[in-house]
């Protein structure tokens, strides 16, 4: 029964990681480059709006919910520890928690906070925008790779357990 619950949780984690990875991928591959092509004041206004709107129930449920499932799977990995699936669950969970949650907290949120504090029409804001675009996109790409790799590790754990 416990093993079946772990299997279902890992399956849900695959979906969660995949959706989060897709959101991050979209931001790094075309949203941020598009914002970088428009005048800084407009780009800053747009990103400030995105940073407010993203704090909604659907995104936060997905982002945090996947993290909660990963926390549960950290413990659940020991049930499957005898085979390779347990180690893959552990790695996948840690990768999501550190590479997604950790990076978000350590890098993307402070950058967002700094951007929120500026008035978009000022020269200081334009200077910050150049730095923000580069740093935020770099760290977002790290999150994209981490969540994609986490998804792949969860899939591997499930395939080896099937």
What pLDDT digit, counting tens, does each position of 3-55 carry? 899 999 999 999 999 999 999 999 999 999 999 999 999 999 999 999 999 99
* DSSP 8-class letter at 80: T
CA separation for the pair 66, 12 (Å, rounded): 8
Q: Which residues, other chains included, contact 78 with Cβ-Cβ below 8 Å and sequence gap of 6+?
A: 86
> How do residues 103-158 score in pLDDT, each as one tens digit?
999 999 999 999 999 999 999 999 999 999 999 999 999 999 999 999 999 999 99
């Amino acid at each position: 029964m416990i093993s079946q619950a772990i299997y279902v949780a890992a399956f849900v984690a695959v979906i969660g990681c995949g959706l989060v990875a897709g959101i991050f991928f979209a931001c790094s591959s075309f949203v941020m480059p598009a914002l970088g092509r428009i005048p800084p004041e407009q780009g800053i206004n747009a990103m400030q709006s995105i940073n407010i709107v993203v704090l909604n129930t659907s995104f936060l449920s997905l982002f945090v919910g996947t993290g909660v499932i990963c926390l549960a799977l950290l413990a659940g990995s020991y049930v499957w520890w005898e085979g390779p699936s347990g180690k893959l669950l552990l790695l996948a969970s840690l990768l999501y928690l550190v590479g997604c949650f950790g990076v978000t907290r350590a890098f993307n949120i402070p950058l967002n906070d700094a951007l929120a504090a500026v008035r978009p029409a000022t020269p200081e804001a334009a200077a910050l925008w150049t730095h923000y675009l580069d740093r935020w996109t770099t760290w977002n790409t790290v999150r994209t790779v981490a969540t994609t790799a986490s998804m792949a590790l969860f899939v591997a754990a499930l395939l080896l357990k099937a």
